[in-house]
Homo-oligomer: A and B are copies of this chain.
Amino acid sequence: MVERISEAEHEVMEVLWAKAPLTATEVADRVIEAKGWSLQTVKTLLSRLAAKAVVGTERDGRRFLYSPLVERDAYLAGVSRKFVDRLFGGKVTPLVAHLAEADELSADDIREIEELLRELKA
């Protein structure tokens, strides 16, 4: 199992998944853009992720280059399963039903999902 990634850490991961390797400052620039945290905060998150071996570091002179060691797809698959297991007894249908009920599904969404399901059956 992939190490647990906290919500704030996840924000940092998204940046690295979008582009890597990056320096701490480069990561921070992007995260700060989106979340307004301080540089120190982002560095702490990077350290924690590195300590958990969720991101890897590569020395580049006096600084580090950070890269994800966990693939986004693998991570998402893992947390999705956990989520559906915990809240919906592992069944996706009730999840879709809930989202639909809360008007989170547009007609386009429905069409998209239908298309996806059609492909899955093929």
Chain A residues within CB distance 8 Å of chain B: 7, 10, 73, 76-77, 79-81, 83-84, 86-88, 90-93, 95-102, 104-105, 107, 109-110, 112-114, 116-117, 120-121
How far, in whole Å, are A29 and B60 apart by their CA atoms in the complex? 57
Given contacts A86-B10, A114-B114, contact A77 B101 (CB under 8 A): yes
A4 to chain B, nearest CB (A): 11
How far, in whole Å, are A37 and B87 apart by their CA atoms in the complex? 20
Given contacts A97-B116, A114-B114, A116-B100, contact A80 B91 (CB under 8 A): no
Q: Is the CB of A81 within 8 A of B110?
A: no
A9 to chain B, nearest CB (A): 12
